Amino acid sequence: MRYTDCMTQLVVRVDDKLLADVDALVSEGVAVTRSDAVRLGLKALVEEHRRQQTARAIVEAYRRHPQDDEELAGLDEATRTLVEEEPW
């Protein structure tokens, strides 16, 4: 079984400008082939969407259960201490 036999093929239509941009990415070595460029773009889109979903879930959780004064106590001092410990 070959590598391509176990993958689904997508057919995509793009305008001339996007095709030129993709070809430039291939020429610059960002992607090996046009197909590789499409795969990289799709992976980035999926990953970004997942990150946004996670961020929304975190925000919603804090809205449902905000931190109280006890949980927030000492955070400013702890942050100052961490910054002062940095060797900058």
Number of folded domains in the chain? 1
Of 10, 70, 14, 61, the C-alpha closest to 23 is 14
User: pLDDT tens for residues 42-51?
Assistant: 999 999 999 9
CA distances from 59 to 21, 52, 63, 74 (A): 36, 11, 6, 22
Structural domain including 28 reads 3-85
| pLDDT value of residue 17 | 98
User: pLDDT tens for residues 47-84?
Assistant: 999 999 999 999 999 999 998 988 888 888 889 899 99
Predicted confidence (pLDDT) at residue 1 exceeds the cutoff of 80: no
Mean pLDDT over each residue of the chain, to the nearest integer? 93
